[in-house]
């Protein structure tokens, strides 16, 4: 019985050490989540402004034949998959990777991947996917330059005809406890086409030309969408990690409570056994 109490105390110490680590990681994730959410709130107005400007320009053009908007036969697809560089974030990485894999499983031999984050790179490399490029170490605190680098690579491959469509797979931040894997089509940018022709209230002149204006605006739109996805994923990552570490801390506390109860029972049983032995020995001496 004495050996049992020592074993329980050893387990309590071990779980308590783990609880201190998970609690510290929860605090770190909370601080990073706050910074990421601040970035997200600043990014959304920029993205919305660029998007509305492009829509307004397109609504004034009668014949839209821009290469970024023109549909083409899909022979090769590119997927930008944004995961994390670290684990311990619940189902964050597996959810976004599996969503991308479901989209690509029927066209695996015609699909390329830009992996953002170690977890995305390792996942698709181990499954034999064609990794076009990888961006490591940027997922927790992404910058607009990171989005620009990814966007320029994508636009160059699209212009050269190496790929026929581009899809972006990321995790949308809904709340601290809720994140949703999402996939959107970047190129060709069908979503930018106006749904219906608006009545022209003003005369807009394009200088030097409408195509050159779109040549400037659409890449900015692509870069801002990628940056927004990076920020959304950063928020989601920290939210998922915070929730996972909070749950781990709560579970550790529950295990410690159960072990303390078992320890007290074992200690009480040992004391009872010792008292019984003493009483029995005293009776035998009479």
SS (H, E, C) 10-21: HHHHHHHHHHHH
Beta sheet of 165-175, edge-to-edge order = 130-135, 111-116, 77-82, 165-175, 178-187
CATH 1.10.287.80 positions along the chain are 2-17+244-285
Query: Cα(168)–Cα(238) distance, rounded to whole angstroms?
Result: 20
pTM of the model: 0.82
Name which CATH class applies to 2-17+244-285: mainly alpha
Helices (H), 60-185: 92-104, 118-126, 144-159
The sign of the CA dihedral 267, 272, 277, 282 is positive
pLDDT of 70: 76
CA distances from 280 to 266, 267, 271 (A): 21, 20, 14
pLDDT exceeds 50 at position 1: no
CATH 3.40.1380.10 positions along the chain are 27-242
E-strand ranges in the chain read: 77-82, 111-116, 130-135, 165-175, 178-187
Q: 13-42 as b/e, with b when 16 or more CB fall inside 10 Å?
A: eebeeebeebbebbeebbebbeebbebeee
* Backbone phi and psi for residue 242, each to the nearest 5 degrees, phi listed first: -60, -45
Provide, rounded to the nearest whole percent, the portion of the chain with pLDDT above 70: 87
The predicted-structure confidence for 196-217, as pLDDT tens digits, reads as follows 555 555 556 666 766 777 778 8
Cβ proximity of 123 and 83 under 8 Å: yes
Cβ proximity of 84 and 119 under 8 Å: yes
Average pLDDT over residues 268-283: 77
The predicted-structure confidence for 165-201, as pLDDT tens digits, reads as follows 999 999 999 888 889 999 988 888 765 665 555 555 5
CATH match for 27-242 among 3.40.1380.10, 3.40.50.1820, 1.10.3720.10, 3.20.20.70: 3.40.1380.10
**Both tokens assigned to 237:** 């990552």
pLDDT exceeds 90 at position 106: no
Residue 184 pairs in a beta bridge with 168
Query: Cα(6)–Cα(151) distance, rounded to whole angstroms?
Result: 59
């Amino acid at each position: 019985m004495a050996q049992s109490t020592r074993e329980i105390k050893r387990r309590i110490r071990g779980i308590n050490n783990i609880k201190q680590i998970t609690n510290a990681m929860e605090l770190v994730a909370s601080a990073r989540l706050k910074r990421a959410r601040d970035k997200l709130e600043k990014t959304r107005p920029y993205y919305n402004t660029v998007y509305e400007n492009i829509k307004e320009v397109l609504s004034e053009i009668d014949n839209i034949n821009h290469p970024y908007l023109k549909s083409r036969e899909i022979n090769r697809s590119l997927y930008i998959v944004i995961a994390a560089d670290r684990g311990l974030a619940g189902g964050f990485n597996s959810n976004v990777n599996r969503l991308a894999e479901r989209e690509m499983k029927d066209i695996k031999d015609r699909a390329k991947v830009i992996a953002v984050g170690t977890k995305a790179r390792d996942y698709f490399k181990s499954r034999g996917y064609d990794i076009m490029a990888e961006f490591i170490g940027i997922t927790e605190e992404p910058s607009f330059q990171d989005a620009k680098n990814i966007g320029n690579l994508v636009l160059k491959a699209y212009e050269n005809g190496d790929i026929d469509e581009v899809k972006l797979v990321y995790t949308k931040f809904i709340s601290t406890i809720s994140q949703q894997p999402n996939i959107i089509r970047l190129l060709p940018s069908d979503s930018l086409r106006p749904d219906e022709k608006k009545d022209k209230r003003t005369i807009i002149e394009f200088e030097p030309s409408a195509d050159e204006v779109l040549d400037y605006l659409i890449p900015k739109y692509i870069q801002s969408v990628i940056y927004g996805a990076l920020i959304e994923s950063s928020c989601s990552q920290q939210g998922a990690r915070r929730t996972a570490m909070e749950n781990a801390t709560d579970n550790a506390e529950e295990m410690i409570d159960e072990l303390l109860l078992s320890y007290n029972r074992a200690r009480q049983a040992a004391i009872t056994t010792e008292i019984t032995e003493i009483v029995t020995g005293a009776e035998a001496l009479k």
